[in-house]
Amino acid sequence: MRKIYRYECRRLLWNRFFAGFVLILLFYGWQVLNRVTILGVSHTAPFSAWSFGDYLCRMLPFLWIGTLLFLTFFTSKKARRVSVLTDAAPADPRRYAFVRCAAALTGTGILALCCLGEAALFYGIYFGWYGWTDLAVPALITLVPPLIFALGNGWLLGRIRNWLLYLLMFLPFICRALPLPQALWLWSGCFFEKYAGTFESLDPGFSMPAPVMAAQGILLAAGIALASCRCRGR
């Protein structure tokens, strides 16, 4: 299975599509950092957890799309024709599905690390700031649940109909256009800006209300459950 995992990672990552997508992601991220993050969010420092979280929220739709695009490698018509041969192989199909899911997760993790590395470079160049331990919590809460949900949900829907993946790519943009409740402000991309503005101090410490934490926890659990459900089936 290690050889299959390396093969699937090489197929996903060693191509012009991945290189081009990374360049687009980094270009957009640098524009956000230079035009929005550098000003700070709700009168907070550019390198505060609030401004950094706002940057991640703005990058999240691109990471969401990248995750689903990885899955199209496994759900396209060509991949379905190949799956006839792989299903007939002596390897356990559940383990094979798990390996492919792990490869897609690896690609998603690399895209997320590109965003984080770009922010680290920006903070180091402009502010000489390297206190990344303060930003670990907002990064995990903001990125991990929705990306795991995208992986699990897309993995299941893509096996039903490949074109459903492309419709699912619009979900973050639809959520940003809707008046969502506070528990889903992370989905609308306005949580860090709005919630930081509710404090009286100019640079408050980072915190999240319980409804937002609960919504992210449900999202993470749903993504894991959907991915596990798909890996158990043929």
Determine the straight-line distance between the first and last CA of the chain, rounded to whole angstroms: 17
| Cα 9 versus chain centre, distance | 17
Q: Which residues contact 4 (CB under 8 A, 6 or more apart)?
A: 91, 96, 99
Mean pLDDT across the chain: 87
- The residue range of the domain holding 25 is 2-232
Q: With bands split at pLDDT 50, 70 and 90, how would you rate the model's confidence at 93?
A: low
Amino acid 232: pLDDT: 56
Q: Region 49-78: what's the mean pLDDT?
A: 91
Q: What is the pLDDT of residues 165-183, one digit of tens each?
A: 999 999 999 999 888 898 8
Q: How many structural domains is the chain composed of?
A: 1
pTM metric for this prediction: 0.89
Q: With bands split at pLDDT 50, 70 and 90, how would you rate the model's confidence at 79?
A: low
Q: Percentage of residues in the chain with pLDDT exceeding 90?
A: 53
Q: With bands split at pLDDT 50, 70 and 90, how would you rate the model's confidence at 132?
A: confident
Q: With bands split at pLDDT 50, 70 and 90, how would you rate the model's confidence at 56?
A: very high
Amino acid 212: pLDDT: 92
State the Cα–Cα distance between residues 58 and 188, nearest whole angstrom.
10
Q: With bands split at pLDDT 50, 70 and 90, how would you rate the model's confidence at 113?
A: very high
Amino acid 167: pLDDT: 94
Residue-wise burial string across 48-67, b where 16 or more C-beta atoms lie within 10 A, e elsewhere: bbbbbbbbbbbbbbbbbbbb
Q: Is the pLDDT of residue 87 over 90?
A: no
- Residue 175: left if φ>0, alpha if ψ -120 to 50, beta else—which one? alpha
Q: With bands split at pLDDT 50, 70 and 90, how would you rate the model's confidence at 33?
A: very high
Q: Is the pLDDT of residue 80 over 90?
A: no
Q: Which residues contact 111 (CB under 8 A, 6 or more apart)?
A: 21, 22, 25, 63, 66, 67
**DSSP classification of residue 168:** H
Q: Is the pLDDT of residue 229 over 80?
A: no
**Beta carbons of 108 and 10 less than 8 angstroms apart:** no
